[in-house]
Structure 1
Amino acid sequence: MKMRRIMAMLLAGAMCVGAMAGCGSTGGSSASGQSGGAAASSGKKLSGKIAFIISNKDEYQSALDQGVKAAGMAKGIEVTSVDCASDMDRQIDQVKAEVANGAAALIVLVADDTRADEIIEAAGDTPVVFVNRIPQDTKLIDEKHPYVGSNEDESGVFQGEMLAEALKKEKKDSVNYLMLQGTAGLLHTTKRSEGVLKALKDAGITATEVVPAIDCGYDRTTAMNKILELKANGTDLSKIDCLLCNNDAMALGGIEGLRQCDVDISKVKVVGVDGTGAGLQAITDGTMTATVFQNAVGQASASLQAAINLATGEKLTKDISYDTDKNNKGIIWIPFEKVTPDNVSDYF
């Protein structure tokens, strides 16, 4: 059962719980299922709300936000969220504010993965669960400060493997690519970029860079505009037969930019990461070749349960079905999944 079906079930369950409790949304950034201290699965009381502090509410992070709130409402737990607009200093201030306001636990999608230690320091004794974006210093992660997310050692590799398979079906052994990258310096930007090229090389595909990789900050509009700038600066875009993109948003922006430059998109392979609704639709429509599904519902529900467990003194992994890392039990892995035209219908 994939993202949309699971999200629908969570939302439906949340609405039922909200109706029975006589409580609904407390505002655009809050969801609540019961008044007072909500019961965790163990029967212990959770004293206070769970606060989700988001880096930047793009399409994928918005899906995470919805998932955490829906899971919270289904459990009768108040969840609030705040978007920090990718501002790390603002995020640290928000952590301090939530602690001062009595949050029982924090879920944090860290804006700068090199500064996760500052989040932990700002939180003090309040439990912190990192989600989606793993701190670069993995020594910070333990069963008191866990990480819930997908293994970025796999995302770019999966992209390259799917792309190589698509090329080989067409009897091709080379590709001329443009890489649209996320924010420079973030760990998942580096791993996705390196992984896709390594996988192509391992598959015997010669990958030639048409122009140097472009930092588009994981943003769709930025990706489109960067393509238009290349055209305005005299770049021959007809040489590009592949877009390697660190996420679906940039893939879609790149496609739109090439279209506006009169490039025949049907001749361009495009791969992304996330498996957003728009990305899945693009695969269905034939404008994207493949994506790597990042399970927003899985990350949302597991991070919320981890936060509840820490706040109520339970074992970290209680009621969480996903595996922990073999070397660090504070890491809970939500598997990436390959999505191609052959299986995209499974994700609707």
Structure 2
Amino acid sequence: MMRFFLILLTVVTCTLSAVPDASAQTRVGVAMARFNDPFPKLLRESIIKEAADMSGVMLDVKDAKNDKVTQLSQIQEFVEQGVDAVVMNPAVGMTAEDLLALGDMLTPKNIPLVFLNTAPKVDTFPVPFAIVISNDLVAGRLQMRKAADLKGGKAKVFILKGLENHNAAIGRTRGVKQVADSYPGVSILGEATANWSRDEASALIAKWLQDGNSADVILANNDEMALGVIRGYQTAGQSLDDVVIGGVDATNDGLAAVADGLMTFTVKQNAEAQGRKAIQDAVKLVNGDVVPQYDWVPYELITEKNLASYQ
């Protein structure tokens, strides 16, 4: 059986040191959907840093590689190892049946659960739980309001979406459309799915442009796809000068693109705050403290004007 270790934060990775008295520690299993994308990396690093700053918290952090079967198996391992709480950043495709299975795993020992960054479609759960998330509708609304303002209330808009049926992609896209509907001079030309991927967005937009299409505004559900839009314009040999391009997440690459004047703005999904709240809420639930079922983390619009505050 795998032993738990105290996490000591380093710049990129973490070093593990043995715990002299494991019974005195709060043991938290962290089930991440994936490690290899910029935003999940920020979430993971924030959890590790916060745990290192807290007294007596041990972590075991696992990567499901975005496979829900793997993730549920990893959580079962956590239960067998005797964790006190689980933080779960759900893998894609979790169904109601999967959530029932998850509840069955945690119920016998009444292990608290914190859902991170992705909200399950449940109002109740058989163990103490919390959901740490940002309101994705707000992200889309912020994008569209800013774009409409920059274009004087008149614009043709194209939307790049993340994964089909993903809550964040649905919410952000819906937020864009809600605001667009309030402007008579704004129309949605169309939308396409690029699966959160810079490469997919680049190929899609390059072809779209080469086919003779154009837009005043392109709003992407995340920074990676917004960066792909920029590359797509460059590949197609077309100017970005009059095009508003907006992303979400405020990743390091996204902020750099705003600084370079290539991306017009991004909407910060505060990974640091989400990760910090997730581990804090997990420990509070273990201690029997009350935490809000939805622990909201606000979105923040970032442009060239306020960029310095976020670098």
1:276 matched residue in structure 2: 251
Distance (Å, rounded) in 2 between the aligned partners of 1:315 and 1:31: 30
Distance 1:119 1:204, change over 3 A: farther
Matched, 1:330 2:293: yes
**1:263-308 Cα shifts (integer Å, max 9, x gaps):** 1112211111111111112112111111111111111111101111
**1:211-261 Cα shifts (integer Å, max 9, x gaps):** x42211112222122224445xx5214x22321100111100121122111
Distance (Å, rounded) in 2 between the aligned partners of 1:35 and 1:165: 55
Residues 1-348 of structure 1: matches in 2 within 5 Å? 24=8, 35-37=19-21, 45-47=24-26, 49-57=27-35, 58-76=37-55, 77-111=57-91, 112=93, 114-115=95-96, 116-124=99-107, 125-137=110-122, 139-140=123-124, 144-168=128-152, 173-209=153-189, 212-230=190-208, 235-237=211-213, 239-311=214-286, 313-317=287-291, 329-348=292-311
Residues matched between the structures, number: 299
Distance (Å, rounded) in 1 between the aligned partners of 2:15 and 2:181: 47
Give, in angstroms, the shift of residue 120 of structure 1.
Answer: 2.9
Tell me the amino acid that sits aligned with residue 104 of structure 2.
E
Can you give the 5+ residue segments of structure 2 that lack an aligned partner in the other structure?
A: none
**1:105-127 Cα shifts (integer Å, max 9, x gaps):** 11101123544444333333222
Q: Contact 1:144 / 1:330 at 8 angstroms: preserved in 2? A: no
3-state SS, counterpart of residue 264 of structure 1: coil
Distance 1:25 1:206, change over 3 A: closer
Choose 82-91 or 114-123, whichever is displaced more: 114-123
- TM-score after normalising by structure 2: 0.87
Distance (Å, rounded) in 1 between the aligned partners of 2:79 and 2:125: 20
Distance 1:195 1:52, change over 3 A: same
Tell me the amino acid that sits aligned with residue 233 of structure 2.
L
3-state SS, counterpart of residue 295 of structure 2: strand
Q: Contact 2:50 / 2:276 at 8 angstroms: preserved in 1? A: yes
1:320 matched residue in structure 2: none
3-state SS, counterpart of residue 255 of structure 1: helix
Distance 1:205 1:290, change over 3 A: farther
Choose 152-161 or 71-80, whichever is displaced more: 71-80
Distance (Å, rounded) in 1 between the aligned partners of 2:301 and 2:94: 25
- TM-score after normalising by structure 1: 0.78
Distance (Å, rounded) in 2 between the aligned partners of 1:67 and 1:142: 28
Can you give the 5+ residue segments of structure 1 that lack an aligned partner in the other structure?
A: 1-17, 40-44, 318-328
Distance (Å, rounded) in 2 between the aligned partners of 1:277 and 1:72: 23
1:3 matched residue in structure 2: none
Aligned-CA RMSD value: 2.6
